[in-house]
Structure 1
Amino acid sequence: MKYVYQLFLAFNSTWLIVVVYLIKEKYILNIIDNYSIYYSWVIFILFPIILTSLSFKIALKLPKDQLINTAINEIELANNNFLPTYLGYFFVSLGISDIPTLVVVFIMIYIFTYLSQTLYFNPIFLIFGYHFYFIKTNKSIKIFLITKKQLKTPGEIGFQNLRRINNYTFIDL
């Protein structure tokens, strides 16, 4: 289940490239006859949001883990660290001129995202109230934590209901 979830997270993290491209090209879904192009855009935008909400349900099947408050030495907010990456994705998708190029670029970015398996940053998590943190443990291990909690002071809060995405990435449900 963990590998399926990692594939799913990588897909959700990169799918916005396709959404931006489809909106840029003013693509209209064939299932909507004689409707405004904006209905298609709403569907394009809702699709990754729905998939991301589904990822929270799937995460419940991941292995459980915990992080006690005394094990946390450093906390660093990571929300803004990924803005340059996503701006890069958006600029790339704006520069793509046709579907075959989009497919190749998407597949390459998807593969790199999946194979890196260190971070699964999905900006749509922010819409659901999640934040991203780098946590350094008392054993000097740096982990990536996805949680709704506001973290400020090391040792102040623990996590009893973590789900392990990989050895360095956890989600707090």
Structure 2
Amino acid sequence: MSSGGELQIVTFGLGAEVFAVPVSLVREILDYRETFRLPNGPDYLLGLTDMRGQGVTTVDLRLRLGLPASAPTPSTRILVVDVPIGDRVLMLGLVVDRVLEVCSVATDQLEAAPDIGVHWPSDYIGGVFRRAEGFVVLVEMGRIFSPDEAGVLDRPAAAA
């Protein structure tokens, strides 16, 4: 990223942690609703959410990132995002605990993902920046799902 620029982001919470995705990838923010369940998928695949007549494959981002499951609350939202994977873009609904804000961060404030010296699935971290409340992790959406997983996630929406 070039120094001196700004990145528009949407911040959201999963438990006590705060994450962010570029605003350019966010299509919509929906109130949480139960999904149409799909059998035999990975544990984080919740099912399909109706978005104005279109079936959106919906995943529990907490489970996908290795966090414990949590019951939905009135603050729970579905972040509908475009996930660039390989040569295609997959539209996914990500269930998050709460959406915090749309804001901007100076690109020169982004730090690389910390090396903590142990095996930890941190490939999805595009960078980390500090806020008064603590750290915010910028999620690299294209790295959360492998191409094989993307194929599994793309099929339910196609079948809807």
TM-score category, normalised to shorter length: under 0.3
| Between structures 1 and 2, the one with greater strand share | 2
TM-score, length basis structure 1: 0.24
Q: Which has the larger radius of gyration?
A: 1
Point out which structure has higher relative CO (alpha carbons under 8 A, 6+ apart): 1
| Between structures 1 and 2, the one with greater helix share | 1
TM-score, length basis structure 2: 0.26
